[in-house]
Amino acid sequence: MYTILKLYNEEYDPKYPIICFDEKHKPLIGDIIEKIPMKPGKFEKYDYQYKRNGTANIFVAVDFNKGQRYIMLTNRRTKSDFAYYIKHLVDKVFTKDKKLKIITDSLNTHIYASILETFEFKEALRLMSKITFYYTPKHASWLNIAEIEINVTDKQCTGRKISNKNLLISETKAYQDYRNEKNLNKMEFQ
């Protein structure tokens, strides 16, 4: 726990950003019977039955110092999905940085072995040389800013019925862009 708190209190070094990482499973649920819209004096009517349209996994990384978030959706939560998201962060988002300090929980996929199993050895070594994992203690994942961001996103954007992946992508992209533009992710941890 103190390692994470120490990281949050380090002086900002733009070449070594602190990246908070987490993910969330999202069922895609649609209506079987179409809703009856609200009318003057009448409430919206809907049926309790629903149809499962699959699932999605929402990866979230938050740049602790800049307050920017980066969301990616995948169909599953596998070691290779995690490894490809790390590659995306290293090669597309944080291209000029020397090394990413990634704060994450101890989920079974959030390990260096995921990268080794997914990529050829040379590529895996390159990626691993650009990251360092810092794990939150069990029962202290609240220390991870990304977990807080996922909960905010769930309350304000994704915590309702979303019927398909395309809608989920467009909703989370719009929400991410809005929060990044307004710099609503900037946190001061004391």
- For residue range 137-163, what is the model confidence (pLDDT) as tens digits? 888 888 899 999 999 999 999 999 999
Which pTM was predicted?
A: 0.87
Assess whether pLDDT exceeds 80 at residue 118. yes
| CB of 37 closer than 8 Å to CB of 47 | no
What's the pLDDT at 146?
92
d(CA 79, CA 117): 8
What's the pLDDT at 103?
95
Both tokens of 181, joined, read: 């533009």
* Confidence band for 82, pLDDT divided at 50, 70 and 90: very high
* Confidence band for 2, pLDDT divided at 50, 70 and 90: confident
3-class DSSP assignment, residue 178: helix
83-104 mean pLDDT = 96
d(CA 174, CA 170): 6
* Confidence band for 1, pLDDT divided at 50, 70 and 90: confident
What's the pLDDT at 32?
87
What's the pLDDT at 156?
93
φ/ψ (deg, to 5) at 66: -90, -20
What's the pLDDT at 190?
62
User: For residue 64, what are the β-bridge partners?
Assistant: none
Q: Which domains does the chain have, with CATH numbers?
A: 2-181 (3.30.420.10)
| CB of 19 closer than 8 Å to CB of 100 | yes
How many CB atoms sit inside 10 A of residue 185's CB? 21
17-25 mean pLDDT = 95
pLDDT tens digits, 162-181: 999 999 999 999 999 999 98
What's the pLDDT at 33?
86
